[in-house]
Amino acid sequence: MSDEESALPSDLDREAVRTALVEWYEDDHRDFPWRRTEDAYEILVSEVMSQQTQLGRVVEAWEAFLDEWPTVQDLAAADRADVVAFWTSHSLGYNNRAKYLHEAAQQVRDDYDGAFPESPDELSELMGVGPYTANAVASFAFNNGDAVVDTNVKRVLHRAFAVPDDDSVFEVAAAELMPDGKSRVWNNAIMELGGVACGKTPTCDESGCPWRRFCHAYETGDFTAPDVPTQPSFEGSRRQFRGRVVRVLGEYDELTLDELGPRVRVDYGGDHGRDWLRGLLEDLSDDGLVDFEDGDSGAVASLKR
């Protein structure tokens, strides 16, 4: 696809974007146990359980389920009533998902000789396995998936690269960004970004978002998104940056503007350079929170003691 047909900005350094996200994810991410396995059965169980259930609650249920039925053959041989009873006792909701999971296990046993199919299309043939779940299993078990496009990913793409709110355009943008042959790490990473740093109320700096220097929303302060119809009241606001200035100055005796600026925002410079920071400091000085004055070595700021 040419830049003219691309869903992404024409001047975007895609390799830099990919590298930044993968390194951020590999450096530190939430350690869910299903992220430590490439077993398709274990991943399928986690994906089915995670539908409309908070991930923190899924961990205990997932581990208990696998203790009870460690392999797809064990689940296929189980009594369906026992599987449904387990689902109910762990408050996983929608008992039909337990029934479908049990039937899918029997399909793998009977139709695939106990070995999971590896492509999204084939996995979609399993009972209760829709396109999203099929792609997740293909990605995380076999590194053979397409770029995932869920609500979190749409939010990230819309904010970071101003991708229009159109499902077909989101799919194009997601596919353009994903590195070839790396669906496992990429889909985990971009979903982690949406779940940790770029939620409905983003935590860009606090979470060390790796896309801040590329991000349209971070540059403009407009964090609206398809599932966030109004601007979050705090992230990116002047009030937030005032709070950061006070926190940073609390750690140092005094700092010059150029020492303080990068500690307050990652894109310090240009429109958000010295004049912008000076304005914040003057406001805080007027409020009696900081001392700010020009000295022989330039303007310096310190927390008012």
Residue 123's Cα: distance from chain center in Å? 24
* Residue 234 confidence (pLDDT): 46
Query: Is 14-29+147-220 a domain of CATH 3.40.630.30?
Result: no
Residue holding tokens 């389920």?
Answer: 65
Q: How does pLDDT run across 237-294, given as a tens digit for each residue?
A: 666 777 788 888 888 878 888 888 888 887 787 667 888 888 888 888 877 788 888 7
Indicate whether 229 pLDDT > 80.
no
| Separation of alpha carbons 61 and 32, rounded Å | 12
Among 29, 3, 25, which residue's Cα sits nearest to residue 211?
A: 25
Q: What is the pLDDT of residue 237?
A: 63
pLDDT, tens digit, for every residue of 171-197?
Answer: 999 999 999 999 999 999 999 999 999
Helix axes 131-142 and 40-50, enclosed angle (nearest 10): 140
* Type and span of the H or E element at 292: strand 290-295
Q: What is the spatial distance between Cα 187 and Cα 56, in angstroms, rounded to a whole number?
A: 19
pLDDT at 170 over 80: yes
39-142 classified as CATH 1.10.540.10: no
* Active site (catalytic) residues: 47
In the Cβ-directed half-sphere of 283, how many Cα atoms lie within 13 Å? 13
**So where are the chain's domains?**
14-29+147-220, 39-142, 238-303
CATH architecture, range 238-303: Orthogonal Bundle (1.10)
d(CA 239, CA 231): 14
Which of 226, 221, 223 has its CA nearest to residue 272?
A: 221
Residue type, 131: P
pTM, rounded to two decimals: 0.71
Decide if pLDDT at 115 tops 90.
yes
